[in-house]
Structure formats: structure tokens, C-alpha cells
């Protein structure tokens, strides 16, 4: 286990709380990224801590929270992945389950939050079309979206 004090400057370490294995700002909401002021800049907490402890985040990569706690900045819970891989993971059946076994319970995701995330990947018009289809067939939008993301990513890979 990494000790906060040994890897982070005291100015950051003293502001963090350890909750389970996760490092967060006190009373953080697991559904939101924490932010922190550091050397005159506002940082996403997890990006700052990762950069200090591990090093620069590779260009074009995002940090996936393996623990599903967005407020967490423990570098051992963060993995740099492409944006499309990050989205794919959030839709892979069973992936969430496995993470829970490894890292404990995860905050539940709302439909709105999932829709937010996939607008990075799917064109907005397609999402609107899926919303109509889901409504007509009385199916869940999330299910339709998950399917569409799979198809879309597959096409991207082949292109
Ligand atoms: Zn964590």
C-alpha cells in the first residue's frame, strides 16, 4: 500500500482522507471528480496526484477509475486508457461486477450520467435517434446506448 505522506507534498497530503483504499478530499461525493488548487492552477485531483506520483499522463489518454470512485486519486486505482476504452469499460457486462469484488462497492450511475459520458464517443444525432427507438419499443435508453457504443467502437476500429 502506498503511503500518502511519502509520495505527495505535505500541502496536498494533509488535505486528503483515506477511505477504504481510496484517497479523496474529505466528504467527497463518489460520483464527482475532486478539484484542487496547486501552484496557481485548478487541477482535477486525480490527474494532479497521478502526475506527481507516477508521471505525465500519456497524450490523449484519460485516467480510468478502477475503483469506480470518481473522487478517488489513489494512483494504484487509476489506469491511463483511451477515451473509447474508458467508455467501453463502463458498458462491458460484468466489468463493474469484477471491479466491485476488487475495490468494493461503486456508486450507482444514473442514466443521465451515462449519457453524458458517451456523448464523447457517439454523435449526438445518433443518441437522439436511439432515444426515440427506446421510447417506441419501451426499452431502456441505457441498453440501446450500450449496444450502439459497441457497434460504433467496432466500426472505428475497422476504419
Ligand atoms: Zn479508489
Radius of gyration, CA atoms only, the chain = 17
CA of residue 123 to ligand 1 center, whole Å:
31
Max mean pLDDT among 31-40, 108-117, 121-130 falls in 31-40
Residue ranges with CB less than 5 Å from ion ligand 1 = 22, 67, 69, 72, 74, 77
pLDDT value for 57: 93
CA of residue 4 to ligand 1 center, whole Å:
13
Three cell numbers at 26? 474529505
Query: Domain boundary at 63, 85, 105, which?
Result: 105
Query: Domain boundary at 105, 128, 147, which?
Result: 105
**Length of the chain in terms of residues written:** 159
Mean pLDDT of 127-144: 71
Mean pLDDT of 130-139: 74
Residue 105: CB partners within 8 Å, gap ≥ 6? none
Sign of CA dihedral 5, 17, 26, 33: positive
Query: For residue 48, what are the CA distances in angstroms to 74, 77, 78, 123?
Result: 11, 14, 12, 30
pLDDT value for 105: 46
- Structural domain containing residue 135: 107-159
CA of residue 90 to ligand 1 center, whole Å:
16
Amino acid at each position: 500500500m502506498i503511503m500518502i505522506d511519502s509520495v505527495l507534498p505535505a500541502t496536498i497530503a494533509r488535505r486528503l482522507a483515506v477511505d477504504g483504499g481510496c484517497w479523496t478530499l474529505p466528504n467527497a461525493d463518489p460520483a464527482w471528480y475532486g478539484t484542487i488548487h496547486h501552484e496557481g492552477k485548478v487541477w482535477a485531483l486525480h490527474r494532479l496526484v497521478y502526475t506527481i506520483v507516477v508521471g505525465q499522463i500519456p497524450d490523449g489518454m484519460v485516467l480510468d477509475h478502477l475503483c469506480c470512485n470518481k473522487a478517488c486519486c489513489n494512483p494504484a486505482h487509476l489506469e491511463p486508457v483511451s477515451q473509447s476504452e474508458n467508455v467501453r469499460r463502463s458498458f462491458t457486462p460484468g466489468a463493474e461486477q469484477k471491479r466491485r469484488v476488487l475495490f468494493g462497492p461503486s456508486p450507482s450511475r444514473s442514466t443521465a450520467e451515462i449519457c453524458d459520458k458517451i456523448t464523447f464517443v457517439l454523435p449526438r444525432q445518433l443518441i437522439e435517434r436511439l432515444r426515440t427507438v427506446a421510447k417506441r419499443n419501451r426499452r431502456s435508453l441505457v441498453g440501446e446506448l450500450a449496444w450502439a457504443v459497441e457497434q460504433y467502437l467496432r466500426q472505428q476500429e475497422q476504419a
